[in-house]
Structure 1
Amino acid sequence: MIYVTETLLYVCFCIITGGQILSLIPEDKRPKIEIPNWLIILCTGGIALLSFAPVFKIIDFFAKDFGESYWLIGKGVLLDFKLGHAWLYTLFFSLALIFIRVLRGSKKDSLVDILGLTFTLGLIGAFGWASHCASNYAIKGFMTHSTHFLAVSVWIGILLVVAWFSKDQQHWQAFFKWFSPVALACVSVTVVAGLILMKFIVPEYLNSWMITYGQTLLIKHVLIIPLLVIAFMNGFLTKRKFLSNPNYDPKPWLRVESILAILVLAATSVMGQQNPPHELSIENTIKLTQPSSLFTLFNQLPADFMVKIGINVWSVILLLLCALLIFTMLFVFVKRQKASLTVICLGLILAVVTYVAVMVSVV
């Protein structure tokens, strides 16, 4: 259940961020967007509620361990723990955003939209302050995690909103003209910040595959591959679609990209509930926990606890199959208009085959 709530938390962040940004974009640069005001308020309240889950987990642990009341322990956690401070900031920005959205109602007001975006950035900052990376690496961890999450929220947030809340077929070409470079910039920032986060949290990336956290991170990475393929289609190949058909409807393919993005967020939520191995070597981590059952399904634990990658017949065959699947996804996108479900299935198969190819390459 905690994985579901964490995924919903990420989706709430994306919807609010995407909605706030698009409200500031001129109407001739995007399709008509209609997000119910109640949904923005619900997502904002959802952030405050869902982000309280890890705080309550700590409160529950200490209350049971010391036999004290939840109220007393809760007050101590909120006032003395960094996680508690971060949640209080989250609560403040959430209430502020709800307040101005209630005052705004359904009316268009640029000043309110700018304030809303400011409070949204505050929510993202509070989320970054509560992260593992900020707890262990102070300002540099906070800045890296917040930048990473901001880039993801902008990219996936705009994507989710236009895919599911656009109401007409106008100005799509104008939208892609600015959104494609924005998405590319966000992806680039996400990759760079993600690599820095990995250096902080998972310094032994290959070796981390032997434990559950590393396996989840690997699954997240292989899910990103079909997501980037679809993003490439929507960002670059869509221009050809508009040249041949000015009335082309890109929403089905944007929804495909958004669904795959949510799956990546779900994998991220699983990671968020596990302890990263940044303080111990993988060898010592395995001594304290258990090796990943997924890893041992494909390989035995190496005697020296060092994972290495090698090329073999099966890995070559599977990588060629991956290339074929990518080509098939591109072909279906170019040649067929209503095949979004097919591309989702191909994307998931691509992720599975990539994962197996990596695991059989371990020596």
Structure 2
Amino acid sequence: MQNVLGGFEIGKAWNITVILSVFFYLFVSLFPVVKSKTLSGISLVFTFILILALGWASHGASLTEWSGFIFHSLHFLAVTVWIGILLIVGWCSKNQENWLAYLKWFTPLAIGCFLTIMGTGLFLMTLVIDVNEYGDAWMLSYGQALLVKHLTIIPILFFAFINGFWIRRKLKRQEQINPIPWLKFESILLFFTFVSTAVLGQQEPPHSIEMTLGGSGPSAVFDYFYSGIINPSMHVQFGLNTINTLFFIVAIIFIWLIFYSFRKKAPAVVSFFMGMFCTLSLYLGLMASIQ
């Protein structure tokens, strides 16, 4: 424990995180933070430093030092700003008054955060695997978690479009609609992205897919779908067939049902399940494409 906490960068970052968290907890407990803009600003500084500590402890920072540290910190900062605000507004709003005023500034902010997440995420992914070997990484548990993470983003984008643009247009027309449940279910979809990210963080990064596959073996999920013999030097091949084509068609239907359910004023939970089924159909279609 002494070696890890005192000799490794991740241990040092953990020490800073614990100390800052204790001071931050005492600060928000002893002072009326929500009643003072100055105290709220100090709280934001605490939060920003904690984000930097996480970036310092990241895998990307250990590989490239400054570029990995900066890109991972920006990545998590964008996630924190976008999803943090979404969670607070979605689960703590008492009513939908001033919703148009909220969307006016939050929608461009969310778009900027998402573009930042995409750009920094692609850079961080290239530190771990070669983009050309993205499909080969599916043979590993790391690649499976990465694939699920990327697929869960697709229904989130459709919900974000509904919440940011379609609901805004309806509110401008003074139509009766409650946007809060839609924001809540968007945050629940994001929870599944967080879960896959958490699983991703517990897997061995495959800097060399062949060596990782030879050492730890293939993913049990990939082994279930792939009927051939798996060897460390193999490359995943893809092709269209009847089964995966049907899964892709079903995924498109579920995407259409997300918007159709909203248009027909169905409860937000209906579109939520359509989004989940869309993700599942895309995953099964991609796995059925492996030859």
Q: Give the alignment's TM-score, normalised by structure 2.
A: 0.93
Q: Which has the higher contact order (CA 8 A, sep 6+)?
A: 1
The C-alpha deviation readout for 1:37-63, integer Å capped at 9, x for no partner, is xxxxxxxxxxxxxxxxxxxxxxxxxxx
Residue in structure 2 matched with residue 207 of structure 1 by the alignment: 136
Q: 1:342 aligns with which of 251, 267, 270?
A: 270
Q: 2:173 aligns with which of 241, 244, 255?
A: 244
Secondary structure of 1:311's aligned partner: coil
RMSD over aligned CA atoms reads 1.7
Alignment of 1:201-280 (within 5 A): 201-203=128-130, 204-245=133-174, 248-278=177-207
Take 2:221 and 2:204, find their aligned partners in 1: how far apart are those partners? 17
**In structure 2, what residue type is equivalent to 1:158?**
I
Quick check: 1:322 aligned with 2:216?
no
**In structure 2, what residue type is equivalent to 1:79?**
G
The C-alpha deviation readout for 1:285-304, integer Å capped at 9, x for no partner, is 11111211211222235665
Contact 2:33 2:39 in 1 (8 A): no
Q: 2:215 aligns with which of 270, 288, 297?
A: 288
Take 2:103 and 2:240, find their aligned partners in 1: how far apart are those partners? 40
Secondary structure of 1:209's aligned partner: helix
Query: Percentage identity across aligned positions?
Result: 39
Cα distance change of structure 1 residues 335 and 240 upon mapping to structure 2, 3 Å threshold: farther
**In structure 1, what residue type is equivalent to 2:250?**
L
Contact 2:258 2:272 in 1 (8 A): no
Contact 1:198 1:205 in 2 (8 A): no
The C-alpha deviation readout for 1:201-233, integer Å capped at 9, x for no partner, is 122211100011101111111111111111111
Q: Which runs of 5+ in 1 are unaligned?
A: 1-73
Query: Does 89-98 or 167-176 show the bigger shift?
Result: 89-98
Residue in structure 2 matched with residue 188 of structure 1 by the alignment: 115
Quick check: 1:86 aligned with 2:27?
no
Quick check: 1:313 aligned with 2:242?
yes
Take 2:125 and 2:243, find their aligned partners in 1: how far apart are those partners? 28
Secondary structure of 1:149's aligned partner: helix
Q: Which runs of 5+ in 2 are unaligned?
A: none
Alignment of 1:12-51 (within 5 A): none
Q: Give the alignment's TM-score, normalised by structure 1.
A: 0.75
Take 1:362 and 1:205, find their aligned partners in 2: how far apart are those partners? 13
Secondary structure of 2:235's aligned partner: coil
Query: Does 318-327 or 117-126 show the bigger shift?
Result: 318-327
Residue in structure 2 matched with residue 123 of structure 1 by the alignment: 50
Take 2:285 and 2:97, find their aligned partners in 1: how far apart are those partners? 43
Take 1:221 and 1:111, find their aligned partners in 2: how far apart are those partners? 39
Residue in structure 2 matched with residue 137 of structure 1 by the alignment: 64
Cα distance change of structure 1 residues 301 and 116 upon mapping to structure 2, 3 Å threshold: farther
Query: Does 312-321 or 240-249 show the bigger shift?
Result: 240-249
Cα distance change of structure 1 residues 105 and 301 upon mapping to structure 2, 3 Å threshold: farther
Contact 2:51 2:76 in 1 (8 A): yes
Take 2:88 and 2:174, find their aligned partners in 1: how far apart are those partners? 24
Quick check: 1:354 aligned with 2:249?
no
Cα distance change of structure 1 residues 175 and 301 upon mapping to structure 2, 3 Å threshold: farther
